[in-house]
Structure formats: C-alpha cells, structure tokens
Amino acid sequence: MTIAEKQEELLDELGLFQDWTERYEYIIGLGRKLPEMAKDLQTPDSLIKGCQSQVWLNASCQNAKMNFLADSDSVITKGMIALFVRVLDGESPADVIQADLSFIDRTGLKEHLAPTRANALNLMAAEMKKRAVECS
C-alpha cells in the first residue's frame, strides 16, 4: 500500500465518526496502539523541539525502509504522532521525503486543536522527513 493509499484509508476511517469527540477517541486509540518506547530512548536528542507536550521520535533505517518509534506524555499528542507513524513507517527514506503530508489538513484536526497543538502537527511531519533525509 502506498503512502497516499494509507492516507486515504485513514481519512475514510476518521470520516466514519459523526462528531469530534468520537474522532479524538479514535486518534487517542491509535496512540495507545503504538509500540511502547523504552525510557532509555526518550532522550533530549529524540525530542521534537517546539511541541507543547513532550514528543519523542526515534527513526532507523533497516533494509531500505524507515522504522519510526514515537511516544508522548500527552494522549492526544501521542495519537497525533501515531497518524504520521501509521502512514510513514515501513516506507523508503525517499518516499518519506517526497510524501505529501497535507492529508493531515483534510482530517480537520488543526481546526479543532489549540494553535500550539496544531503547529505540532507541522513539526512532527518536518521532523519525520528530516530523519528520512538522515537515513538516505
């Protein structure tokens, strides 16, 4: 499945919910499904700078595929990073770098978050692309 197909699948899933309370619960649930990040990986170097909450991102490249591991001290923020992990994990560094991540705008999430949390979505996307550049 391509990145664009994963994005469309995610948008379709979010579209099933009638109100934002249900969508938030779904996004929080995605965050809870992320694999646990060991505390020793939650270092200052793995923090995404500028986020209101603490968000840790580790990236590695194995067999020409990106592997992302993420965590946050906030359940909604962990769900937000889980959206990106879901569409970018397992993709090649080149595909991550070239990915159009504007799908996040189509979720409507930015309009329902405080400005600082909405900005965190841009920071997360940029950091994941930066990590892909480092792996390529």
String of DSSP letters for 92-118: -HHHHHH---THHHHTTGGGGS-HHHH
Residue with tokens 């499945």: 1
* Options 51, 69, 113, 124, the catalytic residue: 51
CA distance 95 to 129: 9
> Which pairs from 113-116 meet CB under 8 Å and 24+ separation?
114/52, 116/52
CA distance 77 to 119: 11
Could you confirm whether 135 is annotated as catalytic?
no
Active site positions, annotated: 51
